[in-house]
Amino acid sequence: MYYVYEFYIIETNEIIYAGKGKGNRYKVRTGRNKLLTEMLKRFKCNSRIVKMFGSEKEAFEYEYDYIKTQKAKGQCVCNVHNGGAGGSGEYWTDELRKEYSENNVMKSAKQRKRMREHNPMSNPDVAEKTNSQKRKPVIIGDKEYISIKEAKEKLNVTYESIILWCKKGINAKGEKCHFKGQEQVIFKDKRYNKGSCKPLIYKNKYYECAIDLAEELKCSKYKIYHWLQKGQSPDGTPCKYIMNK
């Protein structure tokens, strides 16, 4: 059986990576890309299976769509590619490998030229632009940092996280974020990680996330998760996720 899995930050439930695998692949933390490896070191993360499949081809197709959807929500920041590639010999036949190699855009003269033009190592103008971006002052909450580098080092987060916060206008703690001199983005959603929330019903009342119900009842969110697993609270009141149709 194949499946699509994801790594997420336990504290915020932010999905940082999704992939396709089988067996215990979703538990493996070694041999990952550099960005994911760094995130796994910096934050307390866990992994879970999103959906099971009978064939690797189905898993590949779902992986591609899932990563694309999550990236649109600001999630899966550690996915360098959109998925749907790699895997075992069951899916990657000799014919498919040949076709992929012959049509690989990375091998085209046009693509190589574009990469040279945008490579800071070979283009001084791009290098200066990249360095100026890194030196750009950023304001997070009520504190100003002289650069993204200073902010990421003092806050112990990644460069990509700072960029994402400024695009959203807010970080996971609810602090406003923007680059100095640029207009503050107004975050219109109720919460930072809405994409990873699962709405539920308890006593015929709608809740966007288990955390909301826990706050209302003044109890641990893990107690609510336990109720949701059983489908009811200890007194028999239904407590269930709202399944997407």
Which two tokens mark 107?
């091998």
Q: Is the pLDDT of residue 8 over 50?
A: yes
**CA pair distance 128, 132, nearest whole angstrom:** 6
- What is the rounded distance in angstroms from the CA atom of residue 84 to the CA atom of residue 82? 7
* Least confident window among 9-23, 52-66, 77-91: 77-91
CA-to-CA distance for 143 and 176, rounded, in angstroms? 10
Beta bridge partners of 15: 8
pLDDT-wise least confident of 84-93, 138-147, 159-168, 203-212: 84-93
Whole-number pLDDT of residue 168 = 85
Res. 167: pLDDT tops 50: yes
Q: Which range (29-33, 46-50, 185-189) has the least confidence?
A: 185-189
pLDDT above 50 for 245: no
Q: What is the pTM of this model?
A: 0.38
Map out the domains of the chain with their CATH numbers: 2-95 (3.40.1440.10), 135-193 (1.10.10), 197-241 (no CATH)
Q: Position of tokens 């109890």?
A: 219
**According to the model, what pLDDT value does residue 79 have?**
87
One-letter amino acid at 6 equals E
CB atoms within 10 A of CB 42: 13
Question: Which H or E element spans position 215?
Answer: helix 210-217
pLDDT at 5: 96
CB atoms within 10 A of CB 131: 12
Q: What is the mean pLDDT of residues 23-45?
A: 91
Instruction: Supply the pLDDT for residue 89.
Output: 40
User: Per-residue confidence at 107, pLDDT binned at 50, 70, 90?
Assistant: low
CB 201 within 8 A of CB 210: no
